[in-house]
A = this chain, B = another copy of it.
Amino acid sequence: MLNEGELVLLWSPHKGDTYLLRLKRGAFQGTHMGTIPHDAVAEASYGGVVQTHKGQPFYVLRPTSGEFMRRLRRQTQIIYPKDAGLLLLYLDIFPGARVLECGTGSGSLTTLLAHFVGDGGRVYSYDRREDFSRLAQDNCERWGVAHRVTFRIGEVVDGFEERDVDALILDLPSPWEALDAAYAALAPGRRLAALVPTTNQLEQLLDGLSERNFVDIQVMETFLRTYKTNARRIRPEDMMIGHTGYLLVATSVRSRGVPEADATEREPL
């Protein structure tokens, strides 16, 4: 028996259609194959099956963070699991980490970061637009992690309030304009990431980094290719996503160039 408020994924064996819902006593979920009472879902519990009023079966599954990301209510481009998963490792996100994100957008990455830092960690998420911030907050609440996030509204030029964060992500059109603010907020020896869709942005970003105290710069892109699952006809799907964006990771250091006897102290901004 599932509790009120639980987030549930309904999966249909017919074409794999899915619905994501938060359980509410007495409510009904509409599908294109008929209506399903939430109470029946709660009773079936995870791994169980329910039927629409037309007799169509749906399985009751636990949603994953990856699925949630892809199904987010959105007003902006979102980050895809293929990119987000890699960032977790390259930025060294960990339970307990303090992570800064700018901008919030629809909150797909915000949700994921809050998911992985756990209750002992914290995500600080900046955006200049209040409507995006509110949407992201809704999405984080839906996934049950909003209490781990501090949403802030502000312009990059004003800098970030936090210091010594464990990781920092720039997901905005002109990340090079945020490099000084990012450097001031990031703990030395820690990673900064940025996502940009075009090589022109990548060029400006690389130029910006080359003039500042960042080393070990890595640029990459990822591809995800899905396959059909008929064991007698194994083959990739006809279409795939051809581009989401270029990922850049760099590491903050106290200074660059050969060290001198006295001047290795970190100069904020």
Contacts and interface: CB of A to CB of B under 8 A. Distances in A.
Interface string A198-221: 111011001100100001111111
Given A46-B187, A61-B216, A89-B81, A236 B229 contact: no
A47 B97 CA distance: 18
Nearest to A64: B92
Given A49-B259, A64-B191, A227-B220, A242 B243 contact: no
A205 to B, nearest CB: 8
A203 B224 contact: no
Given A88-B85, A266-B47, A235 B69 contact: no
Given A84-B89, A189-B60, A51 B259 contact: yes
A81 B86 contact: yes
A203 B234 contact: yes
Stoichiometry, as copies per complex, reads 4
Contacts of A31: none
Classify the secondary structure of A's interface with B: mixed
Interface in A218-241: 218-241
Nearest to A206: B231
A66 B92 contact: yes
Contacts of A118: 94-96, 118, 120
Contacts of A210: 231
Q: How large is the interface on A (under 10, 10 to 19, 20 to 34, 35 or more residues)?
A: 35 or more
Interface stretch (A22-30, A99-107, A134-142, A249-257): A249-257
A57 B258 contact: yes
Interface of A: 11, 13, 16, 44-51, 57, 59-66, 69, 81-82, 84-92, 94-96, 112, 115-120, 187-191, 197-200, 202-203, 206-207, 210, 215-243, 246, 251-256, 258-259, 264, 266
Given A81-B89, A236-B242, 4 more contacts: A59-B215, A62-B189, A84-B85, A235-B243
12 contacts: A11-B216, A46-B188, A47-B188, A47-B190, A48-B189, A61-B215, A66-B86, A84-B89, A95-B118, A197-B233, A219-B229, A240-B241
The 8 A-B pairs of least Cβ separation, nearest first, read: A47-B188, A46-B189, A85-B85, A95-B118, A240-B242, A66-B89, A64-B92, A236-B243
